[in-house]
Structure 1
Amino acid sequence: MWRSRRSSFSSAGSAATCSIATERDASCGCRSTGEARGAGGNVTADRGIRAILFDLDGTLYDERGAMRAALAVTTAEATRTIPGFDAAIACRLYEEIGRGIWEKADLSGSGPLPPPSSMELRQRVWGALLERLGVTEAGAGERLAARYARARSAGHVLFPEAAGVLERLLVLSRSGDSFKVGLVSNGASDLQREKLDNCGLSSLLEPILISSEVGWVKPEPEIFLEGVRQCGCLPEEALFVGDSLERDISGARAAGLRAVWVNRSGEDRLPGAWAAEFVLRDLTPLPEIVACDRGATGRS
């Protein structure tokens, strides 16, 4: 079962005729950047798509929305149980502290020690946050980390359009010369697997590569190339879809893959945006792009 902020999704219909090389198509919200050139050299739009690899957080999964909802639940409990706890300050500090701790963690699984679990990292975040707030209560960090984890587990959701887009892609794959639809994600294995299971993606996406399980981290080219290898195609026959210009788009292009940047915030003129073949405000136009590409190369 899909888990999303919308309760129902339409099945794939016939794709409309598209002209995806225009500067802006108002009907689909996508923009072609023209010739996308990365470290691999020339644009490879003449090769049909045989694999689509998605990023998870910020692309399919609403990481920021889930974090904010769980943070509201956790800080409300802390306000009730910890004298002087300031929820407003805690919310402002959480993302800053959390980003620093998660980015410093070795989630590649290639180091001398096993990668930390999501609970270990959350305990570090809540411990550091309480220290900044001057809270010295023994065990408070562990307790709030556990409460936050329960709230996150109960609130895993995809972006509203994500389930319908995946449905349409899977239908499209079954309608002719099939292609793979998989995932390449950075993160702690236990947390990413929980998200995939709770959102109903584990049985639908193949292959699934998670950094802490395979020993590489985006934007390292090896993790993209391993995804391509498991899809059984060439890098230029794979399309990577992600929201991070550094980790997803630059990494995929350096490995020779084609790339679609999901720019949900609508930011413009960012360094590295040129490397994406298409820029989307959300995932909605993706099945049409894939259908047009495969039709142009005789694969549909």
Structure 2
Amino acid sequence: MAAPIDTVLFDLDDTLCRYRRSAADVLEIAFERAGVGSVFEPGAYYDRYREYLERATRPVDLHEQCFGDLAVESGYDRADGLAVARAFREERDQRNVEALPGATATVEALAEEYTLGLVTNGLSAMQRQKLEATGLEDAFETTVYAGEDAAPKPDPEPFDLALDELGSVAERTVYVGNSLSADIAGARAAGLASAWLPAETAPVEPEPSPDYVLESLADLRSPPWR
């Protein structure tokens, strides 16, 4: 018989919160706020940033690297790209974040019965702004910023760190996240059960396979592992 769950860990981005506007819309605002004009084409950002993300091995501001390089390649000063990156980050993480429907109520309900923690990929300065914007900054007993405090998900290290800080064990913990490759794979690597919150265009047969599939965060009001 499996041990009963007493700890729930959450992902943050697209699990508990989301951006209101697209990156392209925020980038246009960032150009204006930085006062440097469109120093590169917004479309160039998407492909390039994914390259930086895949190569990242330490906690750095990838937008500053990416936007600085794009500005130079477009004939502008690197300082112009850095100014856009700072404006982009502030606009995106302070003014453009909202909690997903039911996130706050679900977390509050679970806190009455379970020990709660957060394991999120991203720099602490960026992720804290999102937590503050959604009112979730005091909702968790521990928060691990994977990529800064530990290796990024799907490495098991950030999950292990969260469990150590909470005094919990993997066999009694479930991780809730939206990404198969980062969240579900990472939870499996760390020996945790996983609850998947899929996007609208989710695969019929997800791989890796989660232990539980949620239709919405509201499903957690009556946890499927009971």
Name the TM-score, length of structure 1 as normaliser: 0.66
- Equivalent runs, 1:225-244 vs 2, <5 Å: 225-244=160-179
* Residue pair 2:63, 2:85 contacting (<8 A) in 1 also: yes
Counterpart of 1:17 in structure 2 is none
Q: Name the CA distance, whole Å, in 1 between partners of 2:140 and 2:25.
A: 26
Counterpart of 1:282 in structure 2 is 216
Residues 77 and 234 (structure 1), Cα distance of their counterparts in 2 relative to 1, 3 Å cut:
closer
- Equivalent runs, 1:67-146 vs 2, <5 Å: 67-75=23-31, 81-82=36-37, 85=38, 90-107=41-58, 115-116=59-60, 118=61, 121-132=62-73, 134-137=74-77, 139-146=79-86
* Residue pair 2:39, 2:76 contacting (<8 A) in 1 also: no
Partner SS state of residue 181, structure 1 = strand
State yes or no: 1:224 paired with 2:165.
no
Q: Name the CA distance, whole Å, in 1 between partners of 2:145 and 2:217.
A: 21
Counterpart of 2:182 in structure 1 is 247
Q: Name the CA distance, whole Å, in 1 between partners of 2:165 and 2:33.
A: 45
Q: Name the CA distance, whole Å, in 1 between partners of 2:162 and 2:78.
A: 44
Q: Name the CA distance, whole Å, in 2 between partners of 1:268 and 1:181.
A: 28
Residues 64 and 265 (structure 1), Cα distance of their counterparts in 2 relative to 1, 3 Å cut:
farther
Cα distance, 1:213 vs structure 2: 4.0
Q: Name the CA distance, whole Å, in 2 between partners of 1:143 and 1:219.
A: 31
Counterpart of 1:211 in structure 2 is 146
Picking from 165, 171, 195, the partner of 2:106 is: 165
Residues 86 and 146 (structure 1), Cα distance of their counterparts in 2 relative to 1, 3 Å cut:
closer
Q: Name the CA distance, whole Å, in 2 between partners of 1:189 and 1:198.
A: 14
Counterpart of 1:197 in structure 2 is 132
Q: Name the CA distance, whole Å, in 1 between partners of 2:39 and 2:170.
A: 50
1:39-67 alpha-carbon deviations (Å, 9 max, x no partner): xxxxx7x4322011001112112158464
1:218-257 alpha-carbon deviations (Å, 9 max, x no partner): 1122221222233323212101011111211111112211
State which structure, 1 or 2, has the greater radius of gyration over its C-alpha atoms: 1
Residues 146 and 216 (structure 1), Cα distance of their counterparts in 2 relative to 1, 3 Å cut:
closer
Residues 189 and 77 (structure 1), Cα distance of their counterparts in 2 relative to 1, 3 Å cut:
closer
Counterpart of 1:54 in structure 2 is 10
Matched residue count = 225
* Residue pair 2:26, 2:88 contacting (<8 A) in 1 also: yes
Partner SS state of residue 218, structure 2 = coil
Partner SS state of residue 289, structure 1 = coil
Name the TM-score, length of structure 2 as normaliser: 0.85
Partner SS state of residue 27, structure 2 = helix
Partner SS state of residue 183, structure 1 = strand
Q: Name the CA distance, whole Å, in 1 between partners of 2:172 and 2:69.
A: 45
- Equivalent runs, 1:29-48 vs 2, <5 Å: 46-48=2-4
Q: Which amino acid aligns with 2:51?
A: G
Worse-matched range after superposition: 264-273 or 180-189: 264-273
Runs of 5+ in structure 2 lacking a partner?
A: none
Counterpart of 2:122 in structure 1 is 187
